[in-house]
Structures are given as structure tokens and as C-alpha cells.
Amino acid sequence: MKIVLIGYMGSGKSSIGIELSSILGYKFVDIDSYIEKKEKQSISSIFKTKGEIYFRKVEKVYLDEVLNDNSSLIIATGGGTPCYGTIMNELKKSKDVITIYLQTGLEELTKRLYIEKEKRPLISHLDNKKELQDFIRKHLFERSYYYNQSDKKVVTDGFSVREISKKIVLQLF
Ligand code: S3P
């Protein structure tokens, strides 16, 4: 089985993925880290030197590579992964995959991303909090169309990583 965590940047996909992996004993794969290892370059540097179109191409190639692994996995995607090409449809069609949307509200995302925006090329240039929040609002609206197609949804606001992970496990089994 592959448990695929999707959601906006800063929604906690990686931390929750690590926690789920320790609860369920499944291996954890973070697609961003996988891309960085394979490409021998940071995500920011890929965006800067090769551009977003190249990034989206390799993001799909490496996601497919990870999904083809025979073992049970917890996969943390990047915030944009399910929103390009046919990725969301393919995930939905795959019998082996359960997609879980980590739904985090605008205020919480803004608060978290304002502190951690440097390593995220899509928002690193937005240095004023209001500008960042306006960007997230519109971007999240566009992307929610894809996120909302997930098999399961978990609201994360107000809950700890452990509590969210437990909620997910209860929904799964
Ligand atoms: C992106 C999110 C990032 C990373 C890249 C693009 C996006 O991952 O894949 O910077 O399009 O939302 P996180 O969601 O882990 O920040």
C-alpha cells in the first residue's frame, strides 16, 4: 500500500509522514528530498538554473519511480505534485494508493510559511506578510480543486503532528 500525503506547502506533509512511518512501520519517502538526491541539486537551485517546467517534469518521473516500488510506503509529495498533468487522476486510479489531503487554513499556512519561505522558490521573493498571504489565498484556491479529489481529508489546524497522525490511522484501518 502507498499512503500519499498531499497538501499545500507548510501543511506538515513531511513531519506527519515521518510520524506515520514510525506508527505503521512503512518506509517514508519525501519526494522533494528524493528529487534533490537524484538530481544532486537543491529544489531552489533546480528552479533557478533549470526552471519550473523542468522541475515539474522530473517531479512526475521520480514520483512514478517511487510509486513503482513494491514495498508499502508513506509518501510526502510536494505542494504542487498533484496539481500538474494527469498526476491526480493517476493516483486516484491506482488501487494500491490512498491519497490523504492535509487541509491547513490560510492563517496557519501564512504564519508557518512566513518563517520558512527561503527554501521555497515559489514564495521566497514575497517578503511582506500581506503579499505572502494574498499569494497563498489565490494559489490555495486554484490548487484546492486537486487536493479535494483526495480519498481522505484531515483538518490539521489546532492539532499536533501526533494527533493528526493518529486521526489518519483511525481513518485508514
Ligand atoms: C512546491 C512545493 C515544495 C517543492 C517546490 C514546489 C509547490 O514542496 O516541491 O518548492 O509547487 O507547492 P513543499 O510542499 O514540501 O514545500
**What ipTM goes with this model?**
0.99
Res 127 pLDDT > 90:
no
Is 173 inside any structural domain? no
pTM of the model: 0.97
Whole-angstrom Cα distance, residue 54 to residue 138?
24
- Residues spanned by the domain of 21: 2-166
Q: What's the CA-to-centroid distance between 119 and ligand 1, angstroms?
A: 9
What is the reported pLDDT for 46?
A: 98
Check residue 173 and give its pLDDT.
83
CA 11 to centroid of ligand 1, rounded, Å: 11
Tell me, yes or no, whether 171 lies in a domain. Answer: no
The atom number, within ligand 1, closest to the CA of 119 reads 10
Residue 119 falls within a domain, yes or no?
yes
- DSSP 8-state assignment for residue 72: -
pLDDT confidence of residue 148: 98
Residue 49, pLDDT score: 98
Closest C-alpha to ligand 1, atom 12: 79
Separation between Cα atoms, residue 52 and residue 75, nearest integer Å: 21
Residue 117: inside a domain: yes
% of residues, the chain, pLDDT over 70: 100
Q: Is residue 172 part of a domain?
A: no
In a domain, 14, yes or no: yes
For the chain, what is the domain count?
A: 1
Q: What is the average per-residue pLDDT within 147-171?
A: 97
What CATH number is associated with residue 139?
Answer: 3.40.50.300
- Answer whether residue 1 shows pLDDT above 90: yes
